[in-house]
Structure 1
Amino acid sequence: MLLDTHLHLVNRDRLTYPWLDSLPALNRDWRYDDYAITAARLGVIGALHMEVDVTPDQIEAESGMVADLMAQPGSLIRGAISSARPEAPGFAAWLDRQDRGVVKGIRRVLHVVEDAVSQTPLFRENIARLGRASLPFDICMAQRQLPLAAALADACPQTTFVLDHCGVPDMAGDFTAWATQIAELARRPNMNAKISGLIAYGGPGWSLGSLRPYVESVIGAFGWDRVVWGSDSPVCTLEASLAEWIAATHALLAGCSEDERAALGHRNARRIWGLRD
């Protein structure tokens, strides 16, 4: 069983996604109903919607879309990891008005802004505020920025962090350099890691053999109690189908115990985001 902690849905009738204009392969609607058919057939038992970088004025409307999906009978959607602007003075007021039945975590994509953003006192104060609110923060940074992720985790020790996409490795680059940074991040007890995104970064020639060192390094560094799984759908479709990524995941975990597979597949996610079935 898999609980998908990284599902992107695109509904252009309700929301605006400016960044999709530069990525024609993804620039269409990606609807829940289509995802749910495949997910249910392949053993996905629930999903968290991951924000899709809508325009800032539509962040709360995106959470409203997720709430509507959650209300559907038999819905797989368990909540939203919402976009936010922790660097903004109004963040505290924004956080106070969020529906905690819907918003289970927060993400601010940090590889699209200046590196200094995540290191400012206001940003750190607001990320620390998430810890007091028991809301995890997904870190989405490029590999070169991983030392900044470590600095942020150190500055906010009471906040739970989830490192997206195995730390966005440069899979054509220096594996040892990436693995060293992952091991350093894993020393922070408040940092978790998400097994996701590797298909897209692996390029058209990806294989189980090319993915395995990254998956095994992340699990080896963080341990089975601090890793979760995500589809990164539809971004994964740049190089493979959702079904292929799920099949690859099961193949990569084939030698693991039932308890280990359950921890990564769904148990840790339920604990980190406070999910109930």
Structure 2
Amino acid sequence: MLVDTHLHLIDQSRLGYPWLDGAPALNRDFLYAEYARDAQKAGVTDVLHMEVDVAPEQIAGEIAFVREQSKKPGSLIRGAISACRPEEEGFEALLERALADPFVRGFRRILHTVDDDISQGALFRQNVRRLAGTRLTFDICMFPRQQPLALALATLAPDVTFILDHCGVPDIKGGDFDAWKRGISELAARPNLMAKVSGIVAYADGDTWTAATLRPYVEHIIDCFGWERVVWGSDWPVCTLGGGLLAWIAATHAVLSGCSNDEREALFWRNADRIWNLGLSVGR
């Protein structure tokens, strides 16, 4: 089994994505059927949809849209990570709705494209701490320069399960490995922080990268977090900026070629099954 914990769907006929105006390479529809053609060929069996930073008033609409996709015959989608705005008063009501909806598996607030002060605000931190003791996770997407902010969040909410997206978004193309590496080691010291090995081909040189290019980043993440605290994700369609879904899956298998079956299964599906209670080990 291969669980993709980080799929984005874009349907501009249904939802608004303000950020797409600044991302011309991604400014088109990316629908489930296009993703599924390659995902099923490559052995993806189950999928979690990751919020796509829709307009704030459409957060509930995005969940409804993804739920529709999950109900289509043969759909691989098993749940959704919802967008949220913990810096706003309405978060508590959003949390209550999510807790009543088993399709919602967690939250994410995009933080690498907003002012750093947002994640340091008292209301933001108070609301994130509300996830303690619930089944809901909180994904962190931050640049390497923001690693201290991610560390602060994980430290201030020790009973919340955080997921560090995209290996911490390393600048692979720029080659700034050492600064990223030091910060990852510090983040991994927080036992409530997991790491997502997802879509890092988007941060490499799309014309020249190889599996060997990605290997040091994947190996350092796993060395730091251990096999029980890592999950896999595609970050489709963002991964199309660096070769696409099939290339990223092939590179993942190449990097893990010397690993045991138990280790691969931990990354590919067992940890995701445990963290989000997907029920994959039952009846398979």
Q: Which deviations, in whole Å up to 9, do the C-alpha atoms of 1:70-92 show, x marking residues without a partner? A: 22222100111111001101110
- Residues 1:169 and 2:181 are matched in the alignment: no
Map residues 1-277 of structure 1 onto 2, 5 A cutoff: 1-98=1-98, 99-171=100-172, 172-204=174-206, 205-277=208-280
Write the letter of the residue equivalent to 1:115. Answer: D
Q: CA deviation at 1:272?
A: 1.1
Q: Which deviations, in whole Å up to 9, do the C-alpha atoms of 1:195-216 show, x marking residues without a partner? A: 1131010122211111000000
Give structure 1 stretches of 5+ with no counterpart: none
Q: Which deviations, in whole Å up to 9, do the C-alpha atoms of 1:150-192 show, x marking residues without a partner? A: 1110100000000001111122143122111101100000000
Q: CA deviation at 1:21?
A: 1.6
CA–CA distance in structure 2, aligned partners of residues 174 and 42 of structure 1 = 31
Q: 4+ residue stretches of structure 1 with deviation over 3 A?
A: none
Q: CA deviation at 1:4?
A: 0.3
Range with bigger deviation, 177-186 or 99-108: 99-108
Q: CA deviation at 1:108?
A: 0.2
Residues 199 and 248, structure 2, Cα contact 8 Å, conserved in 1: no
- TM-score by structure 2 length? 0.95
CA–CA distance in structure 2, aligned partners of residues 173 and 42 of structure 1 = 29
Residues 47 and 76, structure 2, Cα contact 8 Å, conserved in 1: yes
CA–CA distance in structure 2, aligned partners of residues 192 and 157 of structure 1 = 12
Write the letter of the residue equivalent to 2:265. Answer: A
CA–CA distance in structure 1, aligned partners of residues 20 and 189 of structure 2 = 36
CA–CA distance in structure 2, aligned partners of residues 16 and 265 of structure 1 = 32
Give structure 2 stretches of 5+ with no counterpart: none
Q: CA deviation at 1:134?
A: 2.0
Q: Which deviations, in whole Å up to 9, do the C-alpha atoms of 1:108-164 show, x marking residues without a partner? A: 010122111111221111111112322100000111001110111010000000000
Report the 3-state secondary structure (helix = DSSP H, G, I; strand = E; otherwise coil) of the residue aligned with 1:79.
Answer: strand
Q: CA deviation at 1:34?
A: 1.5
CA–CA distance in structure 1, aligned partners of residues 242 and 188 of structure 2 = 28
Identity of matched residues, %? 59
Report the 3-state secondary structure (helix = DSSP H, G, I; strand = E; otherwise coil) of the residue aligned with 1:116.
Answer: helix
Cα RMSD (Å): 1.1
Aligned residue pairs total: 277
CA–CA distance in structure 2, aligned partners of residues 87 and 132 of structure 1 = 20
Q: Which deviations, in whole Å up to 9, do the C-alpha atoms of 1:38-91 show, x marking residues without a partner? A: 111111011100111110000110000111112222210011111100110111
- TM-score by structure 1 length? 0.97
Range with bigger deviation, 168-177 or 135-144: 168-177
